[in-house]
Amino acid sequence: MKLTLKIWRQKNASAKGNFETYQMDNVSPEMAFLEMLDSLNKRLVEEDKDPVAFDHDCREGICGSCGMYINGHPHGPVPAITTCHLSMRFFKDGETVWIEPWRAKPFPVIKDLIVDRTAFDKIQIACGFISVNTGSAPEANNILIPKKISDEAFNSAICIGCGACVAACKNASAMLFVSAKISQYALLPQGRVEAKERVRAMVDKMDEVGFGSCSNTGACEAECPKQIKITNIARMNREFFKAF
């Protein structure tokens, strides 16, 4: 099938970017979205032009590297998947596809579709951990955790840190990301010990790096490739008030 791509091209962080148009004449519906971009890049290199830079790695939806804003959706129009899992069969022949980088002040563009997501790492460094030294852990089965609680913690822990929640939110808020981590630890007895310090430190860092606040719009939940729920945000808020 044929597609018209409108891709954000920006040489580096300080350059002014613009949309470039690329005609794709031979897109197979069996391709994955990134493979379609691979084929564009192959062509660009053959024409000695600068290929489109984008982050990607595992290509199986788990590393969280890839992420582009495609036709009004982070990771494209299909819910609950990452860009690397987006199949071209979800696009129509002749369609125009807009491809933009994540847009948020704490995620500055590095080049083309690559953005700097170290703001997420900074939040985790603030206190996204349980302070236990190697070797000092108790026997694993000494900590009994009800299956229901453990499963709930797991459902929060599956966040891949891709940043789609920030990209989707009209406020570029990172609340879903931060709350998922806080929820995981808040639910588990191991994490309760430092629960207060953790929520304070992480929320503090989240505000400091410049993310917006939550309007309970729910775009993050709708666009999260791992379907993380905004009930996590309510839990984080609870944890935050408890931390006074």
Partner 1 sequence: MGKLDAKIPAGPLAQKWTNYKATTKLVNPANKKKLEIIVIGTGLSGAGASSALGELGYSVKTFCYQDSPRRAHSVAAQGGINAAKNYQSDNDSVYRLFYDMIKGGDFRAREANVYRAAEVSNQVIDHYTALGVPFARDYGGTLNTRSFGGVQVSRTFYSSGQTGQQCLLGTYSSLNRQIKSGNVKMFPRREMLDLVLIEGKARGIITRNLVSGEIERHSAHAVVLATGGYGTIYFLSTLAVNSNASAAWKAHKKGAFFANPSFVQIHPTSIPQLNEFQSKLTLMSESLRNDGRIWVPKTKGDKRHANDIPEEERDYYLERRYPTFGNLVPRDVASRAAKERCDAGYGIGETGLAVNLDFRDAIKKQGKKAIENKYGNLFEMYRNITGIDSYVEPMRIYPAGHYTMGGLWVDYELMTTIPGLYSIGESNFSDHGANRLGASSLMQASGDGYFILPNTINNYLSGEISVPKISTDRLEFAEAEKASIERLNKLISIKGKKNAGSFHKRLGKIMWDHCGMSRNEAGLKEALKLINELKEEFWKELNVTGSLNEVNPELEKAGRVADYFELAELLVTDALNRKESCGAHFREEYQTPDGEAMRNDEEFTYVAAWEYAGEGKPPVLHKEELKFEEVEMKVRSYK
Partner 2 sequence: MSKVLFASISKKFVMALAGLFLLTFLPVHLIINFMLLKSDPAPFNAAAHFMATFPLVKIFEIVLMAAILIHVTYGIFLQISNWLARPVGYVSGSKAETSFFSKFMIWTGATVLTFLVLHFFNFYFIKLGLVEGDPENFYSVAHDLFRIPAYNYIYLACFVMLGFHLYHAFSSAFQTLGLNHRIWTPIVKKIALFYAILIPAGFASISITLWLFS
**Which spans of this chain sit near partner 2 (rule: CB under 8 A)?**
6, 19, 69-73, 77, 98, 100, 103-106, 168, 170-173, 200, 203-204, 206-207, 210-219, 222-223, 230-231, 233-241, 243-244
Q: Which residues contact 147 (CB under 8 A, 6 or more apart)?
A: none
- Choose between 119 and 168: whose C-beta lies nearer to partner 1: 119
Considering only CA atoms, which of 120, 123, 19, 6 is closest in space to residue 65? 120
59/103 with CB nearer partner 2 = 103
For 7, the 3-state DSSP assignment is strand
Report in angstroms how near the CB of residue 145 gets to partner 2 at its nearest. Answer: 20
Helix (H) or strand (E) holding 35: helix 33-46
Among 48, 52, 58, residue whose Cα is nearest residue 6: 52
Q: What is the largest CA-CA distance in the chain?
A: 63
Q: Binding to partner 1 by residue 130, rule CB under 8 A?
A: yes
Could you tell me how many residues make up the chain? 244
For the bound state, the minimum distance from the C-beta of residue 234 to partner 1, rounded and expressed in Å, comes to 20
Q: Is there a contact between 39 and 67 (Cβ–Cβ < 8 Å)?
A: no
Euclidean distance between CA atoms 163 and 173, whole angstroms: 10
Q: How far is the CB of 27 from partner 1 (least distance, A)?
A: 9
127 binds, among partner 1, partner 2, none (CB under 5 to 8 A by kind): partner 1
The beta strands (E) that lie in the chain are given as 3-9, 18-24, 69-70, 73-74, 96-100, 109-111, 114-115
Binding of partner 1 by 105 (CB under 8 A) = no
Of the candidate residues 114, 172, 178, 199, the single one contacting partner 1 (CB under 8 A): 114
- Which does residue 94 bind out of partner 2, partner 1, none, counting CB within 5 to 8 angstroms by kind? none
In whole angstroms, the minimum distance from the beta carbon of 216 to partner 1 comes to 26
Give yes or no for residue 208 binding partner 1 (CB under 8 A): no
Nearer to partner 2 among residue 29 and residue 72 (C-beta)? 72
# of chain residues touching partner 1 (CB under 8 A): 83
